[in-house]
Amino acid sequence: MQFTKRLATHPARQDFPLPVHATVTWQPIESANQKQGSLWRTSVALAAVPESHIIVPSFACLEDDYQYQWVLSSAVTADSMENTSTLAAITPADSAAHRIFMHACDNGSGISAKIDCWHTQSDLLAVTAQLTLWLPHSLKPPEQDLVVISLRPIEQTITALPNRLDRTRLAVPCPISQMQAEPSIAKRICSPTATAMAVAGEQALKYWPAAVQACLDPHTKAYGKWPLAIYWASQNMRLGSVEALADWPTALSVLKSGSPIVCSIRFGKDALPGAPLRQTGGHLVVLYGVEFDGESGFALVMDPAAASHAEVARRYPLEAFSQAWLGQRGGAYLFSPTQTQTARIGDVP
C-alpha cells in the first residue's frame, strides 16, 4: 500500500514540487496556563494500514521557534482496544518542550514508534495522526505551513527504473564532506550535511555548522533525526517535508521542478558500487540528477561520507541506488525549488 496526503493552510500559495491536496483545519487549544503564544491541533485520517508499513509524519511552517508533536492512534481489529504511539516533540535547539507535550511512548502492540516515524506490526484500522502545535510568538495559526503524512511498505523490490527519456540534471550542489568536521562527530552528521548541500546553494559551507548544531537531537544525542533537518530549513525560509517515496516518477517530478532530494539509503556490504561506505544501516545523500551512458543508468549523487569535498560528487548505478533508497523505506527530504530561495539564507552576512 502507498499513500500520501499533503495539507497547507493556503495550498495555492505553496511553491512545492509535489501537489498539496487540501487545506489544514487548525483548532485552537485553550489552556489556563497559557501565558504567551498559542496552541493548535489538527488531525489527518488515514485508510486502514497493513502490517510491515512505515508511516512518516511531517510538519513545517515559517513561524519562529515553533514546537510540535505527532500522535498516531488506531484499532488493530474492529473490536480491539485502541493503539496509540507518541513521537518525541520537535523543538528548537536548546529549548524546553511546552508542558502540553507528552513523553514518547507506545501503548498497544500494533504500532512501533521509531525516532522519526512509525512501523506497523499488525494490520491497523481507523488510523488517525494528530498534530499539536505551539506558536510562542503568534496568536494566529500559521499562514505558511505544510502537513504531510506518507506511508508505504518498509521494504519493497524496485523493478521500474528511469529510462533515457527521464534523464535530468540540476546544477551540482556545493560539495561538503562530513569527514572534514571534528572527528568526534564527523561520522554522525550526514543528515545536516546533506541538507545544507540541498537547500543553501553556493553558501552551503557557510551554513553547514548551523545545520549541524540544529540537527542534534536532545533525546537520542544523534544528528540524523529526519524532522530536525526539515525544521532547520524552515527557520531559513525553506518550506519542506520528509516523506516515504515509493517510485521514481515522484522523485523525477521533484528533480524536474529544480529541487534536489535528500535521500535516506541503506545497503549491505559492497551493494552500492562506488560508495565511500562499504555498507550502512542508514545514511543521507543528495540526489541531483539521473543520466545514462548507453543503456546504463546512473544516479548523480552528492555523498557527504566522501573523504574530502573534492570527492563528494558520485555516480551510482541506478539499479543499486534504487534498491538502497526506494527499496528501503524511501525516506526523502523535499524542499521548495532552489530558484525560490529567499531572505534568511541568501542575505545573512
64 lies in the same domain as 182: no
91 lies in the same domain as 216: no
Among 114, 129, 153, identify where a domain stops: 153
106 lies in the same domain as 32: yes
Q: How many CA atoms are closer than 13 Å to the CA of 137, on its beta-carbon side? A: 5
Which of residues 224 and 93 earns the better pLDDT score? Answer: 224
The Cα angle at residue 237 between residues 236 and 243, in degrees rounded to 5: 95
For the chain, the domain total comes to: 2
346 has a pLDDT exceeding 80: no
- Provide the pairing of β-strand 22-23 with 3-8: parallel
Whole-structure pTM value: 0.94
Instruction: Tell me whether residue 10 is in a domain.
Output: yes
Residue 197 DSSP SS3: helix
Residue pair 18/254 in contact by the 8 Å Cβ criterion = yes
Residue 286 belongs to what domain range?
Answer: 164-347
pLDDT tens for each residue of 176-205: 999 999 999 999 999 999 999 999 999 999
Residue pair 261/254 in contact by the 8 Å Cβ criterion = yes
281 lies in the same domain as 227: yes
Integer Cα distance of 109 and 128 in angstroms: 16
101 lies in the same domain as 144: yes
CA distances from 26 to 40, 97, 133, 163 (A): 6, 20, 9, 43
Q: How many CA atoms are closer than 13 Å to the CA of 221, on its beta-carbon side? A: 2
Instruction: Tell me whether residue 158 is in a domain.
Output: no
The cell for 195 is 541538507
Integer Cα distance of 60 and 48 in angstroms: 25
337 lies in the same domain as 306: yes
339 has a pLDDT exceeding 50: no
pLDDT at 125: 87
Instruction: Tell me whether residue 240 is in a domain.
Output: yes
Burial 305-316 (b: 16+ CB within 10 A, else e): bbeeeeebbbbb
Binned at pLDDT 50, 70 and 90, residue 75 comes out as confident
The cell for 4 is 500520501
Integer Cα distance of 112 and 50 in angstroms: 13
CA distances from 330 to 24, 39, 263, 287 (A): 25, 32, 7, 13
pLDDT tens for each residue of 99-131: 999 999 988 888 999 999 999 999 998 899 999
5 has a pLDDT exceeding 90: yes
Integer Cα distance of 50 and 74 in angstroms: 12
First to last CA, the chain: 47
Backbone CA torsion sign across 348, 231, 334, 16:
negative
345 has a pLDDT exceeding 70: no
